Chains A and B, each alone.
Chain A
Amino acid sequence: MLRWYILRRVLLLVPTLLLVSFFIFSIVRLLPGDIVSIMIAEQGYADDEKEMRQRLGLDKPLVVQYAAYLKNVLKGDFGISLWSGKPVLEELTRRMPTTLRLAILALFWTILMGVPVGVISALYQDRWSDYIMRSAAIGGLSIPGFWIATLLLVFGAIWFKWVPPMDYVPFTMNPFKSISQLLVPSFILSIALSASIMRMTRTMMLEVMKEDYIRTARAKGLAGGVVVVRHALKNALIPVLSIMGIQIAFLIGGTVIMESIFVLPGMGKYLLDAITWRDYPAIQGINLFICTGVIIINLIVDLLYGLFDPRIRYR
C-alpha cells in the first residue's frame, strides 16, 4: 500500500542522514597533521592554539563533539564561517537560489532535449539516425562541460566579440537579465545530463515497445503517435524518473564547475572558496546542506516513483 511505502521510505531517511552527518563530521577531523596549527600558520584565524581549539570545540572528546554538532545542526546552526564570521547557514541560504535556478534550468533543457531524442532514437532503432544520436550521446557524456564553456568563451570573444553576461544581477532586481545569465551555463550542464537521459529513455522505450499492451493498442487501431505517447512513453518514463534522482547529484557537481567559470555566486562557488580559504566549518556545513538536499530530493523522486508505478509499493 502506498502508506506503508511512504512510511518505509521516510523512516529510511533517518539512518541515512545520521550516517551522512557522521561521515562529514569525521572527514573534516581526519586531517593529517594538526588542523589547529595549520589554520593558525596559514590563515591566522585565532591568536593562539588554545583559543583556536576552544573555538572549534576540539578540546572535548570526540563523541561529545559529535553530539554537540548534531544538536546544533538540528537547531539550525551549521557553524560559523571562519572566513566571514557569519553563520554558514546564512551564507548558504543566500546562495542557494542561484544554484537552484541553474539546476532547474538545466533540468528543463535536459527534458526538452533528452527525452524526444531518446524516443526518436528508439523508434528508429539501428538505423543511421539511431547510431548518430547514440554516438552524440556518448560524446555529450565524454566532452567535458568546462571545455565547451571555455571554447564558447574563447571563440565567442574572438569571432563574435561577445562575452556571456558575467556581472551578476540578482533575480529580484531584474528577473529576465538574471535568467539570461544562467542560460548558457545551464545549457552546457544539460548536455551531459540529457545524454544519459536520452540513453535511458531509449532503453526503456525499446523495452516497453515490446510489451503486449502496445501490441493491443496497435491492434485496436490506434494511430502510431498516440500509441507512442499515451501508452509507451508514459510507462517508459517512470524508471527514467528514478534515475533523475541520481542525476541530481551529478548535476550539483556540474554546477560547481559552471559557477566557477561564469562567476555565479552559488553554493558550488562557495564550496570552492571555502576550500581555498581552508574554512573548515564552512566546508562541513556546505557538505551537510548539499547532501541533505540530495537525500530529500531522492526521497521525493522515490515517492513519486511509488505513486506512478504501483508495482513497486509491494516490493
Chain B
Amino acid sequence: MKDISPDKPLSTLSFLENTEAPPKRHHWFLDLFIQLLKTKPLGAFGGFLVLATVMLAIFAPVIAPFDPNKIHGVNIVSPPSSTFYFGTDALARDVFSRIAYGARVSMTVGLGAVGLSVLLSTIIGILSGYFGGLFDTIVQRFVDAIMSFPWLVIMLTLMAILGPGMVNVILALALAGFAGASRVVRSAVLVIKESDYVMAARSVGCRDVTILLQHILPNVAAPIIVLATLGLGNAILAEASLSFLGFGVPPPAPSWGRMLSGDGINYMLRGPWLAIFPGLAISAGVFGFNMLGDALRDLLDPKLTGGIRLRK
C-alpha cells in the first residue's frame, strides 16, 4: 500500500487497484464441519454414531428384516442366528428389528422433546435476559424452583399425571429440561447485551424487536446448537430410563429401555443377548450425541462468550 502517503492526494485511489479478490468464503456450517474433523477426531466419531442412529431411525423399514411386532412361531428366546441377527425375545419377535424400530422411537421422542425444550428455553431465556429487571428476577425464581426437582422425580410425576403415551413422554421430558437450558440461553444473552454492536444499535434507535431478531438471536444460536445436541443425548437416556421403569412409551412400540427391563432381566439366564443389545444401542446413541455436543461446545462456545480457551 505504498501509494498511501501524506503528500499524495487521496483522489488517486490507485491503492485500490491491486487488491486481490477476498478468498472464497464457505458457509459457516461447512467451516465448522471441517474444523470438527480436523481438530476433534473424537467429536467426528460421535457425529458418525449420531448419523448411524438417525439413519437407522429413518430407514428402519428397509434395514429391519422383519416387522418388529411379528411373532415368529414358537422360537421364543432363541440365540442370535443368521435369520435373527440379535436373536428373538420372549414373544418370539426379532430383536434386531425391534432395535431398529426402537431407534425410531428414541429419535422421535428425542427430537420432539428437544425441539419443545429449545423453543421454551429460548423464549424464556431471551426475554428474561434481555429485559432484565423485576421480570427477570421473578422468572429466575420460577426457574430455580423447577430446577430443584430431581429430573426423574419430575418426569415420573408428570407421567403419573398425564398418563401413558408417546406424546406425554415428549411433554414430560421437555418440561423437565427446559429450565436448565433457559439458564444457559439467558447467560449468553446477558453477555451479548453488553456488546458494542448492541449498544450501537440501541443508540441509533433500533427497536427492541429488531435488536432481538437481528443481533441477539443469531448469537445465541451457538449455545442452543450445543444444548440441542447434548439434550438429544440426555433425552434418549431419559426416555430409556422412563421405559425401563415402565412409565415410558407404552407397548407394543419397541423401546430400548423397556426391552432391557422386560425381557433383559426376566430371561437373563436363558437369553443374555436380550440384555446386551438394547443397552448397547442406548449407550452408542447417547455416547455419539455427547461426544458430538462436547466437541461442538469446544468449537463454538469460547469464541462466543470470550471465555478462557482451555486447550492449546
Given known contacts A151-B276, A158-B268, is B241 in contact with A294 (CB within 8 Å)?
no
CB-based contact B283/A147 at 8 Å:
yes
A250 at the A/B interface (Cβ < 8 Å)? yes
Verify if A70 is at the interface (C-beta below 8 Å from B): no
In the complex, A131 has a CB within 8 A of chain B: yes
- Which residue of the partner chain, among A144, A203, A252, A298, contacts B153 with CB atoms under 8 Å? A252
Question: How close is B244's CB to chain A, nearest CB, in angstroms?
Answer: 5
Residue from the list B158, B269, B279, B282 in contact with A157, Cβ < 8 A: B269
Judged by a CB distance under 8 angstroms, whether B261 is at the interface is yes
- B161 at interface (Cβ–Cβ under 8 A)? yes
Is A170 close to B, CB under 8 A? no
Q: How far is the CA of A139 from the CA of B46 in the complex (A)?
A: 11
The answer to whether A28 and B150 have CB atoms under 8 Å apart is no
Q: Which of chain B's residues have a CB closer than 8 A to the CB of A150?
A: 260-261, 264-265, 268, 275, 279
CB-CB under 8 A from A157, the residues of chain B are 268-269
Residues in chain B near residue A96, CB distance under 8 A: none
Stretch at the interface among B64-72, B188-196, B285-293: B285-293
Verify B245–A144 contact, CB threshold 8 A: no
Contact with B160, one of A126, A253, A257, A275 (Cβ below 8 angstroms): A275
Of the candidates A142, A144, A207, which one forms a contact with B310 in the assembled complex, judged by CB atoms under 8 Å apart? A207
Q: Which of A32, A257, A261 contacts B152 (CB 8 A)?
A: A257
A144 B279 Cβ-Cβ under 8 A: yes
**Is A138 an interface residue, CB under 8 A from the partner?**
yes
- Say which one of A19-27, A80-88, A104-112, A215-223 lies at the interface with B: A19-27
Chain B residues within 8 Å of A, Cβ to Cβ: 42, 141-142, 144-153, 156-163, 233, 237, 240-241, 244-245, 247, 257, 260-261, 264-265, 268-269, 272, 275-276, 278-279, 282-283, 286-287, 290-291, 294, 308, 310-312
* A249 touches which of B148, B161, B245, B286 (Cβ 8 Å): B148
Q: Is the CB of B147 within 8 A of A142?
A: no
Q: Are B161 and A30 in contact (CB under 8 A)?
A: yes
Q: Does A206 contact B (CB under 8 A)?
A: yes
Let me know if A15 and B141 touch, CB within 8 A: yes
A135 cross-chain contacts in B, Cβ below 8 A: 42, 291
Closest CB in chain B relative to A196 CB, distance in Å: 11
**Number of residue pairs spanning A and B whose beta carbons lie under 8 angstroms apart:** 155
Contact of A142 among B142, B158, B278, B286 (CB under 8 A): B286
A 106-149 binary contact with B (CB < 8 Å = 1; else 0): 00000000000000000001100001001100110111101100
Select one of A154, A275, A298 contacting B264, CB under 8 A: A154
Interface string of A256-278 (1 = CB under 8 A from B): 11001100000000011001001
Partner of B233, one of A142, A151, A283: A142
A43 sits at the interface (CB 8 A)? no
Chain B residues contacting A144 (CB-CB under 8 Å) are: 237, 240-241, 244, 257, 279, 282-283, 286
C-alpha spacing A261/B233, complex, angstroms: 23
A residues touching B (Cβ–Cβ < 8 Å)? Answer: 15-16, 19-20, 23, 27-28, 30-32, 125-126, 131, 134-135, 138-139, 141-144, 146-147, 150-151, 153-155, 157-158, 203, 206-207, 210, 246, 249-254, 256-257, 260-261, 271-272, 275, 278, 283, 286-287, 290-291, 294-295, 298
Contact across chains for A143 and B287 when beta carbons are under 8 A apart: yes
CB atoms of A153 and B268 under 8 A apart:
yes
Given contacts A142-B287, A249-B147, contact A256 B156 (CB under 8 A): yes
Q: Which residue of A lies closest to B265 (CB)?
A: A150
Known contacts A19-B141, A144-B240, A154-B275; A31 and B261 CB within 8 A of each other: no
Assembly CA distance A73 to B291 (angstroms) = 44
Q: Are A146 and B244 in contact, with the CB atoms below 8 A?
A: yes
The answer to whether residues A249 and B282 also contact, given A27-B158, A139-B287, A154-B272 and a CB cut-off of 8 A, is no
Q: Which A residues lie within 8 Å of B142 (CB)?
A: 19
Q: Return chain A residues, CB-CB under 8 Å to B147.
A: 246, 249
- Give, as a whole number of angstroms, the nearest-CB distance from B301 to chain A: 12
Report if A16-B282 is in contact (Cβ < 8 Å); known contacts: A27-B158, A256-B245, A272-B245: no
**Chain A nearest CB: distance from B259 CB in Å?**
11
Q: Which of A28, A138, A246 counts the most chain B CB atoms within 10 A?
A: A138
Closest to A17 in B: B145
Rounded to whole angstroms, the CA-CA distance of A203 and B261 in the bound complex is: 36
> Which 4 A-B pairs give the minimum distances between C-beta atoms?
A253-B152, A147-B279, A19-B145, A252-B150
For the complex, what is the distance from the CA of A256 to the CA of B42, rounded to whole Å? 32
Given A27-B161, A142-B237, A287-B153, verify A260-B245 contact (CB < 8 Å): yes
CA distance A135 to B46 in the complex (A): 11
Closest Cβ neighbor of A248 among chain B residues: B150
A151 to B163, CA, bound (A): 30
Given the known A-B contacts A142-B287, A147-B283, A283-B160, are A249 and B265 also in contact in the complex, defined by CB atoms under 8 Å?
no
Set B261, B275, B312: member contacting A151, Cβ < 8 A: B275
